[in-house]
Structure 1
Amino acid sequence: MTKRIIPIALLGAATLGITSCGGGKGDFKKVNGLEYKIVKDVEGKNAAIGDIIEFHLVAKVDTLTVADSYKQGQAQITKLDSARNIGDLVAIFPHMSAGDSAIVNISCDTILSKMPAEQIGRVPEWMKKGNTIKISVKLVSVKNEEEFQKEMQAKQAEQMKKMEEQKAAQMPLDDQKLQEYFTKNNLKPQKTASGVYYIVHKPGAGAQIAKGMTAKMKYTGKTLEGVAFDSNIDTAIGHHGTDLLTFQVGMGQMIPGFDEGVQQLKKGAKATLYLPSPLAYGPNSPSPLVAPNSILIFEVEVADASAASAPSPDMSAAAPGR
């Protein structure tokens, strides 16, 4: 959730906005150093301290738009608490219910009079004495904490379901491409239960790498088409330098296919991992060189693998999982 929207936004820390609500009948009322007028009044319970509110707004000084949430592409969400400063926009929300729209006028003089002297020199040019900030605000929704949490959990569950459906649809397509690639290049890889293919070129020694161990790797990543996009071996490709990739295995620090593929290896092993896109970056892209839903190939070498008594102190080179 966002924190304080106004006056922080008015100091240039946000780019919110809304289209004008128009005129409306009735006089402006005053509260907490600002003037407001409800121009659309929808029947319902007004927002209360502690509620989670969702709103759009547009703020202008003369013809200059200084904030626009519509252009930002999403409503603002915040937990409603008491106004902390004179001119704080949150003071109007206890006078509004979901669906209401209002016009708010805030004098720049009011904000500047309460601002620490060291901050005045950093305010935007339009924040000067005599100016008035005219805000059109629409309260989209009002929920208590329990309602908000239930809604967020439902959205997360729906998102997870959608991701699983996309994964289920993409996996057979990627597997077919991989089988064609293996046939064309006369390769005979092994396959994990989840669908990662791998070829061990040098077996290494000792126990197989297991969840919780700390692995240190050399790697080069490329697409199925042969485009290299990351490496800690070739400095012309990599963007993390030549430090070993250090991570705790099976703890979600790497993309799933890389994490699983490493667990098929031993210390000193050299191997090639073939990752279907749902076990790599899926529809996302870590680089302009990697298209959405790309199958990835990683040439890897396990430089070291050991039991981890504490989290690894240096995760900065964990490129395949970032």
Structure 2
Amino acid sequence: MRPLPEGLVDVRQRLVRVMAQKWVNGTVLHYAFRGGPEPQRRAVRSAFQEWLDLGIGLRFQEVEEPGEAEVRIAFDQAGGSWSYLGRDVLGIGTQDPTMNLGWDLTDAYGRTTALHEIGHTMGLPHEHQNPFAGIVWDEQRVYEFFAGAPNNWSRETTHHNVLRKLGPDEVEGSVWDPDSVMQYAFPEGLIQEPERYRPGIEPPGGLSAKDREWVQTFYPALPDVLPALEPFRSTPLTLAPGEQADFEIVPGASRKLQIATFGDADTTLVLFEEVDGELRFLAGDDDGGEERNADVSAKLFRGRRYVVRVRLVWAGRSGDAAIMCW
């Protein structure tokens, strides 16, 4: 859980936690395979495409070199299936996988597995760890079940992936969706309460209606034309928590520019450079929970196109914020 300073108001703390692992909308996530047979790779590509077909603003692009990818996918059949959560992948060494897919992906269960792990990469947590689900576990039986194949998990891993409840300030809302692609299937005997789930939980597989609604809300389709961010001109950010504003910069001269937000607000600020028609990360800052504003600087070159994306996490007493470059 992200450490935050003492004294934050509850609503601010909750918003910072909820969005801690979420990407700025419009980010291009590059993924690369570390081995794996071609049928497995095709299944993963298909799962990425299924998320994309919802019309979201995130993009996924396959690259050959793992060192060029934020998302590195392994197929260790002894390692179970797992993924780091959202922006946590950025803290993983470039030679290490950020996702493992440990069993066959070519059937319906495998397809759901691939969608599930990509959901983690997008920032979605496990649905059964929602604190509002009210699940009471037979913990010993849970440990015994996940210690067996195909997961072969340690007690620590089982606790982290199943038994540990998320804090109320880490979830998107109070509604539990047992049909979610992020919800595990559980056999009879692992759940004690709610009583209706004592025989087990068997989600239908694939993306639920609420999965689609959530991802389209948080990563909406991007506009075709972006407003310009003009030097030395403050631009108001009239955003609600979780909303995002996007701007473009096409410098008239090559020079170092500073870009910053202003006001009593928490924001995530990211600068991209367009290279061969693709936006590549150049700089970023997240001031969530800190008593400062997001601020990045970089040398921008004449005639090139740059895109600035700023997501508002929380607006303070005035509710006002702004962005400027100089």
Q: TM-score range by the shorter chain?
A: under 0.3
TM-score (norm. length: structure 1): 0.24
Higher relative contact order (CA 8 A, sep 6+): 2
Higher strand share: 1
- Tell me the TM-score normalised to structure 2 length: 0.24
Could you say which structure has the larger radius of gyration?
1
